[in-house]
């Protein structure tokens, strides 16, 4: 697979400067135009503010782009539904057809690792979906989890999206051998909320400690990601009980309307936005920016160890 680096990213990697990978699905599919373009620019700006270089990853005209100029960001943002949503399995199809694609957590992690980028910041990872009926078991598991099990990269996120089955997601991360760190927290963040009743494997309170653990993973030659869970900013976060009440309403409405499969997640997120009066959108933006900033700090700390 040919990788096309922007001049800025190529120069940073050659010079040994910190680089942070950013996904593009949040731009093409996460928010409407023109909010998505503004967010894409703000994510890159947050990385630069911490002295690192942003590498937004996407597929344009069948080329794997590592770092986009403003024209590329605009193309993704304007394209919306015309831009393919690419997990790892979709990459051969979109690249082979010479198409445009926005990369998910799984695809971004894989490509970033191939590009020699050690840190990737995102909003929230995918996970195990909630069962379709009470007491049931879901076999719908995001490719994000399996990719983190086999790709030695550092992923910074606000936990997993709270519309998912968080206990099952945490259990799956443990089963797959993914190292999970809570940055300034003892619990696994619930995306819109800072708190949950799920403990993280280890709490860390500074980027130097994170970098030391990543270096130890690399020194041992271990496969698998280090997942750094960064709770959403306090001034934006919503209480977990409040989010759960909205989510129960949305799940009930989805069941009543016969909504299932791939249509479930967009429906639930849209209903949460409506039920919260737009507050969930504000949290989503704030946490993504905070994660980009932390990712840049970790990338810098890693390079300082060399």
Using one digit for the tens of pLDDT, what is the confidence trace for 184-231? Answer: 999 999 999 999 999 999 999 999 999 999 999 999 999 999 999 999
The pTM score is 0.94
pLDDT of residue 162: 86
Average pLDDT over residues 239-250: 94
Q: Is 248 a catalytic residue?
A: no
The yes-or-no verdict on residue 180 having pLDDT over 80 is yes
Helix (H) or strand (E) holding 102: strand 101-103
Which of 4, 7, 8, 23 does the annotation list as catalytic?
23
Residue 306: count of CB within 10 angstroms of its CB: 6
Using one digit for the tens of pLDDT, what is the confidence trace for 30-65? Answer: 999 999 999 999 999 999 999 999 999 999 999 999
Q: Is 223 a catalytic residue?
A: no
Which region among 135-144, 210-219, 268-277 has the lowest average model confidence (pLDDT)? 135-144
The yes-or-no verdict on residue 107 having pLDDT over 80 is yes
Tell me how long the chain is: 306
The yes-or-no verdict on residue 139 having pLDDT over 80 is no
pLDDT of residue 1: 64
Do 1-117 and 119-306 have matching folds?
A: yes
Average pLDDT over residues 275-286: 96
In the chain, where the domains are located: 1-117, 119-306
Which of 44, 147, 161, 285 does the annotation list as catalytic?
161
The angle that helices 105-114 and 143-150 make with each other, rounded to 10 degrees, is: 20
CATH superfamily of domain region 1-117:
Indigoidine synthase domain (3.40.1790.10)
CATH hierarchy code of domain 119-306: 3.40.1790.10
Number of C-alpha atoms within 13 angstroms, CB side, residue 286?
18
Question: How high is the mean pLDDT of the chain?
Answer: 94
Q: Residues 70-88, buried b or exposed e (16+ Cβ, 10 A)?
A: eebbbbbbebeeebbbbbb
pLDDT of residue 152: 97
């Amino acid at each position: 697979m040919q990788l096309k680096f922007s001049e800025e990213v190529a120069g940073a990697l050659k010079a040994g400067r910190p680089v942070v990978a950013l996904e593009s699905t949040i731009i093409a599919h996460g928010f409407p135009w023109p909010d998505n373009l503004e967010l894409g620019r703000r994510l890159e700006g947050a990385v630069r503010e911490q002295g690192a270089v942003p590498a937004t990853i996407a597929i344009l005209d069948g080329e794997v782009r590592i770092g986009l100029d403003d024209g590329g960001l605009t193309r993704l943002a304007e394209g919306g539904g015309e831009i393919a949503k690419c997990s790892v399995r979709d990459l051969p199809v979109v690249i082979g057809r010479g198409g445009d694609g926005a990369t998910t957590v799984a695809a971004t992690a894989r490509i970033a690792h191939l590009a020699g980028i050690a840190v990737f910041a995102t909003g929230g990872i995918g996970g195990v979906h909630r069962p379709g009926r009470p007491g049931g078991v879901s076999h719908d598991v995001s490719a994000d989890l399996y990719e983190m099990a086999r790709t030695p990269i550092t992923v910074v996120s606000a936990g997993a999206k709270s519309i998912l089955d968080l206990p099952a997601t945490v259990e799956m991360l443990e089963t797959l051998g993914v190292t999970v760190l809570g940055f300034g927290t003892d619990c696994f963040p619930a995306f819109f909320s800072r708190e949950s009743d799920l403990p993280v494997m280890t709490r860390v309170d500074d980027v130097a400690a994170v970098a030391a653990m990543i270096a130890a993973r690399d020194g041992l030659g271990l496969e698998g990601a280090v997942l750094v869970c960064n709770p959403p900013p306090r001034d934006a976060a919503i209480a977990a009980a409040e989010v759960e009440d909205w989510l129960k309403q949305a799940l009930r409405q989805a069941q009543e309307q016969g909504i299932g499969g791939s249509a479930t997640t967009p429906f639930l997120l849209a209903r949460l936005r409506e039920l919260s009066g737009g507050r969930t959108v504000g949290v989503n933006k704030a946490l993504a920016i905070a994660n980009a900033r932390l990712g840049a700090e970790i990338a810098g700390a890693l390079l300082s160890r060399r």
